[in-house]
Amino acid sequence: MPQIQVTPLGAGQDVGRSCILVSIGGKNVMLDCGMHMGYNDDRRFPDFSYITQNSRLTEFLDCVIISHFHLDHCGALPYMSEMVGFDGPIYMTHPTKAICPILLEDYRKITVDKKGETNFFTSQMIKDCMKKVVAVNLLQTVQVDDELEIKAYYAGHVLGAAMFQIKVGLESVVYTGDYNMTPDRHLGAAWIDKCRPDILISESTYATTIRDSKRCRERDFLKKVHETVERGGKVLIPVFALGRAQELCILLETFWDRMNLKAPIYFSTGLTEKANHYYKLFITWTNQKIRKTFVQRNMFEFKHIKAFDRSYADNPGPMVVFATPGMLHAGQSLHIFKKWAGNEKNMVIMPGYCVQGTVGHKILSGQKKLEMEGRQTLEVKMQVEYMSFSAHADAKGIMQLIRMAEPRSVLLVHGEAKKMEFLKQKIEQEFNINCFMPANGETATTVTNPSVPVDIALSLLKREAALGPLPDPKKPRTMHGTLIMKDNQSLRLVAPEQALKELGLSEHQLRFTCRVQVQNPQSEQDTLNTIYSHLKSVLKEHSIQHLPDGTVMVESILIKVSAAAEEPSTKILLVSWSYQDEELGGYLCTLLRKGLPQSTG
């Protein structure tokens, strides 16, 4: 039986290091190739030796697909392609292709230049790797080779994020990457058509959460910023350079516009400027509002948001500053935080989750005195706020996507095992389909039952269609024909005569003959009449003829009557039918065996 195998090398019952191997219809595809943020040793990259024993990957993989530019989905790409060795095509969307190298370069700088690691990929490797990338458009079907094709769907989440359908013949798999079912200020919601894949591989970060309406959070955020600014306070928003930062920028920018506010908003420079440039370019990937209004004004051309300079932090008066990194553990955001923490008029808003041990986590848990390096203590008087802006689908969103795609089975990745368990149970219960959640290195196998397409000769089809009423598409229908399987050609269904002709064979007829003894005192002729009228009353749909040569024809079945030599009251019926009429012939025999009605006509 044909089957599809899915093996996560990363992100199986885990978040980070997404890397999933799929073998479908004899093709092997790698979905995402990410790194793990939690490790600094070999474990940070997927274990590619699982695929090959320390040789190049090219001959084992048909293609690699990257869903979006987050490092936990593309961080190991240069390592895989250049250091392990892969020369096949790598597919990603245009924005991902544009932004991905910026992030990879940044990642490399931090690891190599700051932490001083060796044996890491180089800038040149990133460049070489990007040369192997083939960019795809949304809803474009790309033919990887003769049989394998992939198609990208919009996924929300971040700019350029996509879900991919991988299809070989009639078998298909959909990989969602990370997606978001609720639109935000700059991106739309994920969408997929009813493609009915065999397996839907879905992320499940928020498998056990149903989120509140986004508007509440937005309103709260804006109100807090507005109040602080009106009081003359300064607002610090520590963010990571890409993704949420742009959403918050748009949110504040439009709010400033609407409310006619004058306080300056700053964004720390660096990565973001480059990235913002791409946001301006890829307007078609954003949401309805931005797409529709960009002719008048590109929303990413900020009017109120300006580049930040270190010296601005000491300026008097209200201001809002977006600074990196997001968890206040180092860099500019921490620097500004130290300056502003002492004033109770100021405020810091944490828009995302903070890892334990960072300054961000400490202040969020309510610590008022922080120990800094050099035995200094920092008193935190400023207000600390937490706002969750996440771009993953919640449990309801995941279910909604499953309902949209109508898969035959679901496979969960990118989430915690315990939470997955709950969602798995829900999916099985509500959609009545299989759900898998393999751990890393574990293989999930699904048996598929693909329908086999057969070419039918037009003449045969027309002949069959003419026989009865219009074929009902919901019901199977039998037909006579010959299936020809020749070497390496697709299957063909042709009329028997044609098949004979093609194969150079002559036709043989197969007839069944059967004798039935019937007790009937009448003469042969009358018996025949009785049989004729009897059959006529029983088989109403068939044509029954009484031929002059003393036989009865039912369709093509011949019935003859002869009296037995020894006993005249015993009549022997000779029933003969061809192989094609086997069904009717058999039925007739049993019917006649039951005897004739005792009515004399």
Question: Active-site residues: which are they?
Answer: 203
* First vs last C-alpha separation in the chain: 60
Positions 352 through 371 that interact with other proteins (CB under 8 A): 364-366
Among all chains, which residue has been given the structure tokens 């004399």?
A: 600
Taking the complex as a whole, the smallest distance from the CB of residue 249 to other proteins amounts, in Å, to 13
375 binds other proteins (CB under 8 A): no
Task: Specify the residue, 29 or 261, whose C-beta has the smaller distance to other proteins.
Answer: 261
Task: With contacts defined by CB under 8 A, name the span among 61-69, 108-116, 222-230, 583-591 that binds other proteins.
Answer: 222-230
Distance CA 411, CA 444 (A): 8
**Is the CB of residue 261 less than 8 Å from the CB of residue 229?**
yes
Task: Give the strand pairing for 265-267 and 90-93.
Answer: unpaired
Task: Specify the residue, 125 or 423, whose C-beta has the smaller distance to other proteins.
Answer: 423
Distance CA 6, CA 446 (A): 9
Out of 127, 132, 211, 274, the only residue in the binding site for other proteins (CB under 8 A) is: 211
- In three-state form (DSSP H/G/I as H, E/B as E, the rest C), the secondary structure along 165-192 is EEEECCEEEEECCCCCCCCCCCCCCCCC
Task: Specify the residue, 216 or 452, whose C-beta has the smaller distance to other proteins.
Answer: 216
512 binds other proteins (CB under 8 A): no
CA angle 230, 186, 240 (to 5 degrees): 70
Task: With contacts defined by CB under 8 A, name the span among 7-15, 69-77, 185-193, 544-552 that binds other proteins.
Answer: 185-193
Distance CA 81, CA 564 (A): 88
123 binds other proteins (CB under 8 A): no
Out of 474, 475, 508, 540, the only residue in the binding site for other proteins (CB under 8 A) is: 474
Taking the complex as a whole, the smallest distance from the CB of residue 212 to other proteins amounts, in Å, to 5
Radius of gyration, alpha carbons of the chain: 37
Give the 3-state secondary structure of residue 401.
helix
Task: With contacts defined by CB under 8 A, name the span among 254-262, 368-376, 454-462, 477-485 that binds other proteins.
Answer: 254-262
5 binds other proteins (CB under 8 A): no
| Phi and psi at residue 93, to the nearest 5° | -80, 165
Which tokens sit at 185?
């200020």
Out of 210, 485, 503, 564, the only residue in the binding site for other proteins (CB under 8 A) is: 210
Positions 154 through 183 that interact with other proteins (CB under 8 A): 182-183
473 binds other proteins (CB under 8 A): yes
24's enclosing H/E stretch is strand 19-24
Taking the complex as a whole, the smallest distance from the CB of residue 24 to other proteins amounts, in Å, to 23
CA dist list (Å): 96 to 76, 135, 177, 220, 271: 15, 9, 13, 32, 15
Give the CB-side neighbour count of residue 362, counting CA atoms within 13 A: 15
152 binds other proteins (CB under 8 A): no
291 binds other proteins (CB under 8 A): no
87 binds other proteins (CB under 8 A): no
Taking the complex as a whole, the smallest distance from the CB of residue 403 to other proteins amounts, in Å, to 6
Q: Which residues contact 2 (CB under 8 A, 6 or more apart)?
A: 25, 171, 447, 448, 449, 450
Taking the complex as a whole, the smallest distance from the CB of residue 254 to other proteins amounts, in Å, to 6
- The partner residues of 321 in beta bridges, in order of sequence, read 236, 266
* Closest residue by Cα to residue 240 from 326, 364, 344: 326
Which tokens sit at 255?
């709010």
Taking the complex as a whole, the smallest distance from the CB of residue 172 to other proteins amounts, in Å, to 16
435 binds other proteins (CB under 8 A): no
Task: Specify the residue, 215 or 375, whose C-beta has the smaller distance to other proteins.
Answer: 215
Taking the complex as a whole, the smallest distance from the CB of residue 256 to other proteins amounts, in Å, to 10
DSSP annotation of 48 reads: G
326 binds other proteins (CB under 8 A): no
Task: Specify the residue, 5 or 383, whose C-beta has the smaller distance to other proteins.
Answer: 383
345 binds other proteins (CB under 8 A): no
Site string (389-428) toward other proteins, x via CB under 8 A: ------xx--xx--xx--------------x--x--xx--
562's enclosing H/E stretch is strand 557-563
CB atoms within 10 A of CB 25: 19
**Is the CB of residue 585 less than 8 Å from the CB of residue 599?**
no
* Closest residue by Cα to residue 193 from 168, 163, 171: 163
Number of residues that bind other proteins (CB under 8 A): 55
Taking the complex as a whole, the smallest distance from the CB of residue 20 to other proteins amounts, in Å, to 24
Positions 436 through 455 that interact with other proteins (CB under 8 A): none
Positions 36 through 55 that interact with other proteins (CB under 8 A): none
CA angle 126, 149, 284 (to 5 degrees): 65
Out of 123, 269, 383, 529, the only residue in the binding site for other proteins (CB under 8 A) is: 383
CA angle 575, 576, 577 (to 5 degrees): 130
386 binds other proteins (CB under 8 A): yes
Task: Specify the residue, 183 or 586, whose C-beta has the smaller distance to other proteins.
Answer: 183
Among all chains, which residue has been given the structure tokens 């923490």?
A: 341
* Closest residue by Cα to residue 134 from 64, 204, 183: 64
Task: With contacts defined by CB under 8 A, name the span among 2-10, 56-64, 78-86, 257-265 that binds other proteins.
Answer: 257-265
Positions 268 through 287 that interact with other proteins (CB under 8 A): 287
223 binds other proteins (CB under 8 A): yes
536 binds other proteins (CB under 8 A): no
430 binds other proteins (CB under 8 A): yes
Which residues make up the interface to other proteins (CB under 8 A)? Answer: 182-183, 185, 188-189, 191-194, 208-220, 222-223, 226, 254, 257-260, 287-289, 364-366, 383-386, 395-396, 399-400, 403-404, 419, 422, 425-426, 430, 469-470, 473-474
